[in-house]
Amino acid sequence: MIPEKTIEELISRHSSLEKDLSSGQIDKKLFAEKSKEYSDLNEIIENAKKYSLYEKNKIELEKILNDKNSDEELIKMAQVELSDLNSQFNKDEKKLKLFLLPKDEADKKNAIIEIRAGTGGLEASLFAGDLFKMYEKICHKKKWSLELISISRSDAGGLKEVIASIKGNNIYSTLKYESGVHRVQRVPDTETQGRVHTSAATVAVLPEAEEVDLKINETDLRIDVFRAGGPGGQSVNTTDSAVRITHIPSGLSVSQQDEKSQHKNKAKGMKILRARLYELERTRIDEERSADRKSKIGTGDRSERIRTYNFPQGRVTDHRINLTLHKLEEFLEGQAFDEIIEPLSLKAQEESLSKL
């Protein structure tokens, strides 16, 4: 049972916000914050009110059932009502518990996504490229904004590594389940005998940290500039535009050379570094709070094989929830993505509820 005081506080808070918002005496910034809180409470307030009346309604129905003077028809009606009441109570309780779960502030943040070719040579780089195209299509479908930060191509036309920033509503809460090893089983174009090869790519999704989330002291940074390498335009190799930023306390290092401007490369490098440091701190706190963190969905462990894309059988399998969709083509087009993400999110919520 959820404590009665907790339910009373939810109802009281909703009523208080309603009065404040209708008063017309709140400044714009506070109005936006209170409107968001009121909107969130609106989703569960009716459940809270019904939940608060459960015991009272249950006692009244049980009185009818236990009253020897009650006629048969009234008893049957009371039995049906009690059954409906208990069913509604269970639904209300689950919804309220989900609402009361500790919120992960990172869920609302934009995300940095990093995709790297893993085992499998050139075929792995082609698969990394396919994954990036899939996320591009998902962003287009969901009207998210994707900005390329860094890209390194392979000789086969695939990607050795790509890093991008994705902006929109509640990005991290959706994409955080993508962190891990993605495995592909298919016949490469170079395979003459039709044998199926297995390759892999790693995906890391990090919440994009703002300066207010993480204070980085300039004295903790070592910034080296060097001449950009690789193919480029007329000036790419003639100036020291490439930047390597090292965070001395953690040892984390980021190199950026995609832009011709040293200033732009530094800004992009700091965005990646800030996200990695923020995730490092989140991981440290999570491990302190929970010894069994690695058993949870969406740990972000890059050594964890999370999904297999099997081309010969046209299926995609998520190993964390043992779910297989025979919709590989649609999934890579971004059309069936939510059919795996929603069950993953639900499973994560259920695991959190079981620990309450």
CATH of the domain at 283: 3.30.160.20
Cα 325 to the chain's mean position, in Å? 21
Q: Over the chain, what is the mean pLDDT? A: 86
- Residues 111, 204, single domain; the answer is yes
Indicate the pTM of the whole model: 0.67
- Does residue 86 belong to any structural domain of this protein? yes
- Residues 181, 302, single domain; the answer is yes
Residue where a domain stops, chosen among 76, 100, 124: 100
Residue 10 identity (one-letter amino acid) = L
Q: Give the pLDDT score at 211.
A: 63
- Does residue 111 belong to any structural domain of this protein? yes
Three-state helix/strand/coil letters over the chain: CCCHHHHHHHHHHHHHHHHHHHHCCCCHHHHHHHHHHHHHHHCCHHHHHHHHCHHHHHHHHHHHHHCCCCCHHHHHHHHHHHHHHHHHHHHHHHHHHHHHCCCCHHHHCCEEEEEEECCCHHHHHHHHHHHHHHHHHHHHHHCCEEEEEEEEECCCCCEEEEEEEEECCCHHHHHHHHCEEEEEEECCCCCCCCCCEEEEEEEEEEECCCCCCCCCCHHHEEEEEECCCCCCCCCCCCCCCEEEEEECCCCEEEEECCCCCHHHHHHHHHHHHHHHHHHHHHHHHHHHHCCCHHHCCCCCCCCCEEEEEECCCCEEEECCCCEEECCHHHHHCCCCCHHHHHHHHHHHHHHHHHCC
Q: Nearest to residue 165, comparing CAs of 112, 210, 128, 129?
A: 112
Q: How far apart are CA 91 and CA 96, in angstroms?
A: 9
CATH number at residue 137: 3.30.70.1660
Tokens 């990093």, located at residue: 114
- Does residue 324 belong to any structural domain of this protein? yes
- Does residue 138 belong to any structural domain of this protein? yes
CB 125 within 8 A of CB 199: no
| pLDDT greater at residue 89 or residue 192 | 89
Dump pLDDT digits (tens) for 297-345. 444 444 568 999 999 999 999 999 999 999 999 999 999 999 999 899 8
Residue where a domain stops, chosen among 255, 288, 321: 288
Q: Give the pLDDT score at 320.
A: 93
- Residues 202, 325, single domain; the answer is yes
312: exposed, middle or buried (Cβ count in 10 Å: 0-12, 13-18, 19+): exposed
- Residues 111, 203, single domain; the answer is yes
- Residues 222, 177, single domain; the answer is no
Q: What percent of the chain has pLDDT over 90?
A: 48
Q: What percent of the chain has pLDDT over 70?
A: 89
Counting the structural domains of the chain, the total is 3
Going by C-beta distance under 8 Å and a sequence separation of 6 or more, which residues neighbour residue 283? 300
- Residues 227, 339, single domain; the answer is no
Over range 24-32, report the average pLDDT.
Answer: 83
- Does residue 323 belong to any structural domain of this protein? yes
CB 276 within 8 A of CB 252: yes
- Residues 87, 192, single domain; the answer is no
- Does residue 67 belong to any structural domain of this protein? yes
| 261 pLDDT above the threshold of 50 | yes
| 145 pLDDT above the threshold of 90 | yes
- Residues 93, 11, single domain; the answer is yes
User: Quick one: pLDDT band at residue 112, thresholds 50, 70, 90?
Assistant: very high
- Residues 234, 308, single domain; the answer is no
70: exposed, middle or buried (Cβ count in 10 Å: 0-12, 13-18, 19+): middle
- Does residue 293 belong to any structural domain of this protein? no
**What's the domain range around 262?**
218-288
Query: Which residues pair with residue 245 across a beta bridge?
Result: 223, 254
Residue where a domain stops, chosen among 41, 67, 100: 100
Residue 169: phi and psi, rounded to 5, are -95, 125
Q: How far apart are CA 257 and CA 62, in angstroms?
A: 73
Best-predicted range by mean pLDDT (35-39, 60-64, 263-267) = 60-64
- Residues 114, 168, single domain; the answer is yes
Which of 57-71, 159-173, 227-241 comes out lowest in average pLDDT?
227-241
| 295 pLDDT above the threshold of 60 | no
Q: Nearest to residue 146, comparing CAs of 128, 132, 167, 177?
A: 167
- Residues 181, 157, single domain; the answer is yes
- Residues 61, 191, single domain; the answer is no
